Structure 1
Amino acid sequence: MTTVVFLVRHGVHDQLQGRLCGRAAGVRLGEAGLAQADAAGRRLAGEGVEVVHTSPLERTRQTAERIAGACGVALQNEEALMEIDFGEWNGRTFESLEPEPSWRVWNSARDLARPPSGETMLEVQARLAGWLERTVRSGARVVAAVSHADVIKAAVGLATGLSMRCHDRFEISPGSITTLVAADGLLKLHALNEVPHG
């Protein structure tokens, strides 16, 4: 059996450039982000999506609600799709993080680094691998999953074998769709960072 997984990054919000929102509460989409969510919904409406899974954070849930509505399917919270736990960095401004050596290590050696009191990219990949296995075993054929940039990058790493040290060599844009296909025990990357229009 083949399972198609459309990984959608949440739409843009007004704090995207200013701080590391991480798991901070109260980060919601503005008009531009809602428009991106609607565009993703229109793009996926004809794909036979059976269910929409979402990280439980507000910005992902807002995006997922639009997609589930466009596809006419149920919406389910999924903890495995949650943003990376940035620990002590959650909610910090990028400006305040720049001088910290551990922040520079995180951005240059993400395959090895751990945010203070947070989780590693390998731990993120482990939870995603478990979720993907459960999704395939459930018999689902087409699933949409709304998550966060680094989490989707971790999933791309699972499919391609790419080290997370290379995380900055490709982009996962707000509102974009990355497509994975699981078949015959293999996970393949079919499309990366597709940005729907209109």
Structure 2
Amino acid sequence: MVKTIHLVRHGHHALLDRRLCGRMPGVGLDELGRRQVAHCADLLAPPPFTIQSSPQRRTRQSAAILAARFGLAVEIAPAMDEIDLGDWTGRTFEELADDPAWRRWNSRRSDSRPPNGETMRHVQNRVVRHLEEFRNGDGDGTLVIVSHAEPIRAALLHYSGIPLDDFPSIEVTPASISTLSVQRSGIRIAGMNRGMPA
């Protein structure tokens, strides 16, 4: 059995590092983001047999660029959706700076959550379940999944054996590729956060 999963973060968008977009509708790639994903496509080898995407617009746009390169359709994978940030969705980092819940979230991902949002543990569980379904399925080949920083980070923390509270140790930059090697005995990390343009 030879299986590979490439976890690709979507490309840059205009609100990146300014606002907590989460599942906010209508957030799409900008020109930089489109260039980043086109560069990412050059690095995906061997060619994938399937491309999956989170339901969000920016990931679907990124996946469409990759799919066009390889002549594939895009499958929507709800399990790889962005974390639900609840009441923080759409807020700026400045607006949250003095919020004790925000400070706790950024130090204790293992036992905190955004107000009316999703825990990091729940994100990790749904993502890992999806990846393990691929491992246990029939057939070989390469799967590309276009997702977001937090779901990809959750997967990498799990397969690295790193606790959720140590989330800053895993970097996931726009249009980066993190690769999982899938074997009958389990899934291991073959590469992290590579390929983004300078």
TM-score by length of 1: 0.95
1:95 match: secondary structure: helix
How many angstroms does 1:140 deviate by?
4.5
* Contact 2:52-2:144 at 8 Å conserved across structures: yes
Give structure 1 stretches of 5+ with no counterpart: none
After superposition, the CA RMSD in angstroms is 1.3
Q: How many residues align?
A: 197
Within 5 Å, give how 1:9-158 maps onto structure 2: 9-44=9-44, 46-136=45-135, 137-158=137-158
* Contact 1:154-1:164 at 8 Å conserved across structures: yes
CA distance in 1: counterparts of 2:127 and 2:150, whole angstroms: 12
CA distance in 1: counterparts of 2:73 and 2:181, whole angstroms: 21
79-88 vs 165-174, which moves further: 165-174
* Contact 1:2-1:184 at 8 Å conserved across structures: no
How many angstroms does 1:129 deviate by?
1.7
Within 5 Å, give how 1:151-166 maps onto structure 2: 151-166=151-166
How many angstroms does 1:196 deviate by?
4.0
CA distance in 2: counterparts of 1:152 and 1:99, whole angstroms: 28
TM-score by length of 2: 0.95
How many angstroms does 1:185 deviate by?
2.6
Q: Name the amino acid aligned to 2:185.
A: G
Answering whether residue 179 of structure 2 is matched by residue 179 of structure 1, we say yes
> What percent of counterpart residues are identical?
39
* Contact 1:6-1:145 at 8 Å conserved across structures: yes
* Contact 2:43-2:195 at 8 Å conserved across structures: no
CA distance in 2: counterparts of 1:74 and 1:161, whole angstroms: 33
2:75 match: secondary structure: strand
CA gap of 1:54–1:108, structure 2 versus 1, over 3 A, is: same
CA distance in 2: counterparts of 1:179 and 1:5, whole angstroms: 6
